[in-house]
Each structure stands twice: as C-alpha cells, then as structure tokens.
Amino acid sequence: MTRVAIVGGGVAAHTLVSALVTEHSNRPSGEDALTVDVFSSEPHLPYRRPEVNKGILLSGKTPADIALAGGIFDTPGITFHPSTTVTSVDPATGTLTAGNTTHHFDELVFATGAGPRLLDPGDPSNAHLHGRDIHHIRTPEHSRALRDRLTGLGDGDTVVVIGGGVLGLEAAAAASSLSAAQVHVLEIADEVCTRILPPTAARWLRDRHRDHGVTVTCGLPPDELAGEVTRLDPALVIVSVGAVRDTMLAEDAGIAVGEGLDGGICVDEFGRTAVPGIYAAGDCAEIHTADGRVIRPEDDGSARLLAGIVAAQLNGGRAGTAFTDSPRKGWTRQFGHMLNTVGTTGLTAAPAGGATGRASGELTEEVVLDTPEELIVLTRDGDTVVGVTTVGRSAEVRAAKASLGTVSPLSS
C-alpha cells in the first residue's frame, strides 16, 4: 500500500486526487488499497481559483458555489484535512507534522500554491498606504470583503488599483461594475499585462477599461507612485502586484527552491524535485526544462496540467507527457468580453514551451482582427505561430485558435 500525502487544497490537489481515484478504480480488484491524505490550510473544499474574482467578487457567489466536485473526497482511502496546517516535512523518515499529529507517507506532493505579494504600510517606502483601506485578491474571503466594501462606495469616492496585471484589471472591472466610484489603475510598466499579452491585445484590453470609465495610467515611475496615490486620496486601495509562491515548508525540508521573489519549488518537466518521491504542482512550482529554461506558471490550467502529470507517476506509474508538451492556456472575462490566450503570447514573457507553443527566438505579433468586439493577434517565432490571443466567437476567431504551430498566414 502506497501512502500519498498532498500538502495543499487547491485545484492541483483536486486534480491529483481525481486522477488517483480514477487510476485506482481501473486496477484489478484485490490490489493495494488507495491511501491519500490531503492537508488544506483553508476551511473550504478545493474551488475554482479564477472564480474568486469572476464569481465571488463580481457575482456574489459563495465558496460552495465555486467548489470543485467534492465527492471524490468521500472515496474510501481518501482523507481530506481542512483548516489543517502542515508545519514540517521530513523526506528522510517519510513523515510530516500537522498540528500535534505525525503522518507517514511514501510519496508527497507539495501543492501549497501562492499568496498575494503584500505592500507593508509600515515600511517607510509605503507611507502613502498608511491608514488606508487596503485589499488584496487571492482567497474567497478577500473577494467577499472587497465586494462588501465596493458596493458601499458612491460617486464621490475613488478606488485605486496598484498593478495592471490580469488580476488587477479584473478587480478594476469589478470595482467599476459594483460601485459608482472613480476607478484608477496605476502600473509602472509601459503597458498592462505585458508578461502574458502581446502589445495590441494589451492595448485592446486597456481600451475596454477606458470605454467603461476606468482610468489606466501606465509607465508610472516607481518613485512617483506614492505621490499619485496621495493625490487621488482613495477610499479603497486594491494591491495586485504579483504572487509569492508558498515554498517555506519545502525549503525547510531541504528541497531546492528558486531564487528571487518569484522563486518556486524546483521541479523538472514532470513535477519531480531532486528528492525521489517528492513532487510539486500548481502555483508553488518552478519548472526547470531540459533545455535550461525556467517556467513559473500562475494559472489554473497549468496547475491542472502539471498535477495530472505528477499523478500519473504516483504509486509506481509513469507519465506519458511532460509539462512542455502542451501549450499553456489562459482566459479572463472583463466587461462581458472573454479574452483567451494559448501558447506563448506575451512578447516579454519566458517561452511557454511545448511542440505547439514554444518559442526560441525573437517574438513578433501579427494583428489579424482588431475591433471593440473581436480580436485576433498571432504571436510568431519567425514564421511559426507560437501563441494566439483572441476575443469573440466568430468563425474567424475559431480558425485562429486552430492556427497554433502553423507557418502559413491565417488567410491562406
């Protein structure tokens, strides 16, 4: 009997358990029982992370409304431990400590996710935030509190969003929809979403915010941010300046962790750490590819993908594919528009990898369609389409989504 421990209770953990239950049900009867312990520091069952913004914040849903199918945790041999923090992991003895209890494992997966990067109001450099009503976006509780606050604001109030990434813009769109307040987005980069969107798509998204009365300021010098916040004197500040991967437990266990603020638990393209039997999946992971690239995914689809690859290797299995064999996918819904990305789309981003989404040289964009309602932007590496960004549902948009990996123009 192989004992599997999963530390974390998000979408990666749910994917792992679902795959393990399915795989075990296909085995001949009489084989070893399935034994999986899932430890989640949150009180909820795993939920759809994108719906924290899109469901709870914008639509007022509850954690139960956005929960992933919880029936798998009723499977014999699966034990879900909510509101349980793992305080130590010892790979040498195959034990972990949660509360005052020691649990044994044969294989362990870190699926600890990431938390919002915080700006400490007590830091002298953040004096402009001192005494202000500051909110972050990551958990259902964050979004519930923010929604309650936004719905109480009037047209004489101002909301400032610090950070023009996808989450920041989703928060700005929600603030514009839920309140009569003036909404401002402050971004130090020259454009919004530069890491994941090509320039035309980033401009398109910024224009939709402008159309709905949101003021987006890009290229703001860092040393002018404090003055701008002070000038706007917001009733509410939403900080969306990136995520911090939860690596402390792994690092304390002697598992290699990447450098810098964005560093994650180091794994290969199959989710394996350097310690046999120890894996990582989801936002906490930092993937080191065979050709020397480092990929730090922060999206729901990547979490599912890597978790599925890890699950295939547990209990003596083998993975048939690597993380880089599939193009990464993402989406955001803002002001009623669904923007989709697949492959490598941001010209400044590290290549996403994969036979149909991997870039090796200088990336360029090709704008196929650009209207207020529809958008098609191809990202090319030389002649090859390595990324596709779209808005809309027309036949032309559908055809563009199928062009990944092609070398000929879309119209041919």
Check which CATH number belongs to the domain holding 228 and give it: 3.50.50.60
92 and 20 co-located in one domain: yes
Q: What is the pLDDT of residue 255?
A: 98
Domain assignment present for 410: no
Of 211, 239, 267, the residue that ends a domain is 239
Domain assignment present for 409: no
Q: How many domains does the chain have?
A: 3
Give the amino acid at 287.
I
141 and 41 co-located in one domain: no
3-state secondary structure 1-15: CCEEEEECCCHHHHH
The set of residues, in sequence order, having a beta carbon less than 8 Å from that of 70 and lying 6+ positions away, is 45, 46
Domain assignment present for 349: yes
347 and 315 co-located in one domain: no
196 and 129 co-located in one domain: yes
Task: Judge contact between 19 and 308, C-beta under 8 A.
Answer: yes
pLDDT per residue as tens digits for the range 272-308: 999 999 999 999 999 999 989 999 988 899 999 999 9
Domain assignment present for 119: no
50 and 132 co-located in one domain: no
List the structure tokens of 41.
């520091």
Angle 31-19-46 from CA coordinates, rounded to 5°? 125
How many C-alpha atoms does 281 have within 13 Å on its Cβ side? 36
With CA atoms as reference, report the closest residue to 16 among 307, 387, 248.
307
249 and 302 co-located in one domain: yes
What's the domain range around 138? 124-239
In angstroms, the CA 126 to CA 123 distance is 5
Please report where in the chains the tokens 């003596």 appear, as a residue. Answer: 316
Q: What is the pLDDT of residue 317?
A: 87
334 and 316 co-located in one domain: no
11 and 78 co-located in one domain: yes
73 and 14 co-located in one domain: yes
204 and 264 co-located in one domain: no
134 and 66 co-located in one domain: no
Q: What is the pLDDT of residue 130?
A: 86
3-state secondary structure 130-196: CCCCEECCCCHHHHHHHHHHHCCCCCCCEEEEECCCHHHHHHHHHHHHHCCCEEEEECCCCCCCCCC
Domain assignment present for 411: no
Q: What is the pLDDT of residue 346?
A: 85
174 and 98 co-located in one domain: no
Q: What is the pLDDT of residue 253?
A: 98
pTM, full prediction: 0.90
Domain assignment present for 195: yes
- pLDDT values of the chain reduced to their tens digit, one per residue, 412 residues: 689 999 999 999 999 999 999 987 776 665 667 899 999 999 999 998 889 988 999 999 999 999 998 799 999 999 999 999 999 999 999 999 998 899 999 999 999 999 999 887 777 778 788 889 999 999 999 999 999 999 999 999 999 999 999 999 999 999 999 999 999 999 999 999 998 999 999 999 999 999 999 999 999 999 999 999 999 999 999 999 999 999 999 999 999 999 988 899 999 999 999 999 999 999 999 999 998 999 998 889 999 999 999 999 998 888 989 999 999 889 999 999 999 999 999 876 444 443 334 445 689 999 999 999 999 999 999 899 999 999 998 888 888 888 888 886 655 4
Q: What is the pLDDT of residue 408?
A: 60
Task: Judge contact between 404 and 327, C-beta under 8 A.
Answer: yes
Of 216, 239, 262, the residue that ends a domain is 239
Of 255, 290, 323, the residue that ends a domain is 323
Q: What is the pLDDT of residue 70?
A: 79
